Amino acid sequence: MKYPFHVFKFGGASVRNAAAIRNVATIVEPYRDKRLVVVVSAMGKTTNALERVVAGLRTGADVSSEIKGLKEYHAGVMEELFPKDHPIREEVDRELTNLPQLWSADLLPDQFYDQVVCRGELISTRIVAAYLAETGLPVEWIDARNYIKTDNTYREGKVDWDLTEKKIRELMPRLDSRILITQGFIGGTPDGFTTTLGREGSDYTAAIFGSCLGAENVTIWKDVPGVMNADPKRLPEAIPFPELPFREAAEMTYYGASVIHPKTIKPLANRGIPLLVKNFDDPALPGTRIHETHIDRLPPLIVFKENQCLISCAVTDYTFVDEEQLSLIFSAVSQENLKINLMQNSAISFSFCVDFREDKVLRLIERLSEHFRVYYNTGITLITVKNYDEATYAKYRGLPGVILEQSSRSTLQVLVKG
């Protein structure tokens, strides 16, 4: 009998140290004879460190201590997992030593970024694959850049779905005898450069594999019991959802819930492939099943989106804000590639909030100031309460420091200072 395909994704926290990597082996073990693709992120906070290496190399700063830190971190993990003479140790050390040699003034800034930052995943997957092999699992390491094919939009690679699907399907026969281990977050261009799919993009990689293989399901292993109705670090009373409709999960990510990468849902929903979010520390827990379903009454879902900037454009001459002026504002926002998270208008002003990406927002304000009197406020948090009930409605409207609110029959949003 042929088994269905499964895809697992382990994020940075799930491979952050030796104990976590041993746990990956325990979770994968029952799938030894099944057909499984394992997608792995860079270990711990490696991607952030690599971003600092990129910034340093670009400005000619000394990156040796940053690289030393990365080496020590990875070496410490390998020390616990492998015998002294295991070749993986030297291999990883070499990959990190070589980082400065990737610098080339011929590459575009974002292109250079991708060539460096991908190393986090290339290394973590080598380590995980080597360790799983040590435990006797039949694994094969594959380079995701040969399968996830993208255009050359560096740092935000756009997937060439036809080609990607063709490539991934070529892997099917290999899955009969081996578990394939590959990198999240990275892809390859037609001319052989690496692209990345956007920060935290490994979930998206897992969804791409799942969708192209027609998998039975895709599982994201996390350090929480499932998708929660609020961030448990903020609200200790948060509870996991046993199941969620695709639409609800997609909207959560839109409002800023960071539990799943926003691009993950669409490719799976389009093919009706369930996404499971499970607890890495306690695999027996049911977790959350995101699938095609309808649920009558969901508990309130609370999403905090920090670091917002509220911009208000006021007309200067007692005319009213009209469609022509709105279109000016929207086109300026879209030219900066910003996304409006909330908006509200009155007779003489139009207010909206965007993520405070400083350089972009300041350019936007400058541009808008040619037509309007512009006021802006930073350090604001956007709180969205979906499926609110009486108690949550009252609580969030009544928070101190609310500067703007908006509600529909199902969703309340408030902007709070601080």
Of Mg ion, ligand ASP, none, which one does residue 199 interact with (CB within 5 to 8 Å by kind)?
ligand ASP
Question: What's the min distance (Å) between Cβ of 222 and ligand ASP?
Answer: 11
The contact mask relative to Mg ion for 36-65 (x = CB under 5 A, - = no) is -----x------------------------
Residues written for the chain: 418
Name which of residues 22 to 41 contact ligand ASP (CB under 6 A).
41
- Alpha helices, DSSP H, located in 135-256: 161-169, 202-213, 246-255
Cβ–Cβ < 8 Å for 341, 354: yes
Contact between 12 and ligand ASP by CB under 6 A: the answer reads: yes
Least distance in angstroms from the C-beta of 132 to ligand ASP: 19
- Kindly tell me which residue out of 44, 56, 157, 184 binds ligand ASP, with binding defined by CB under 6 A: 184
Alpha-carbon torsion, ordered 220, 192, 133, 282, to 10 deg: -10
Q: What residues pair up with 381 in beta bridges, in sequence order?
A: 416
Which residue, 178, 175, 186, is CA-closest to 143? Answer: 186
Contact call for residue 187 and ligand ASP (CB under 6 A): no
CA 340 vs. chain centroid, Å, equals: 19
Site string for Mg ion, 11-30 (x = CB under 5 A): xx------------------
Binding marks (x or -) toward ligand ASP, 105..124, rule CB under 6 A? ---------------x----
CB of 358 to ligand ASP, least distance (A): 20
- Sheet (strand 349-355) strand order: 342-345, 349-355, 301-314, 373-386, 411-417, 402-407
The residue (of 9 and 89) whose beta carbon lies closer to Mg ion is 9
- Give the contacts of 370 (CB within 8 A, at least 6 positions apart): none
Report the alpha-carbon distance of residue 77 to residue 32 in Å, rounded: 24
Shorter beta-carbon distance to ligand ASP: residue 38 or 310? 38
Please give the residue ranges that form the binding site for Mg ion (CB under 5 A).
11-12, 41
Please give the residue ranges that form the binding site for ligand ASP (CB under 6 A).
11-12, 41-42, 47, 120, 184-185, 199-202
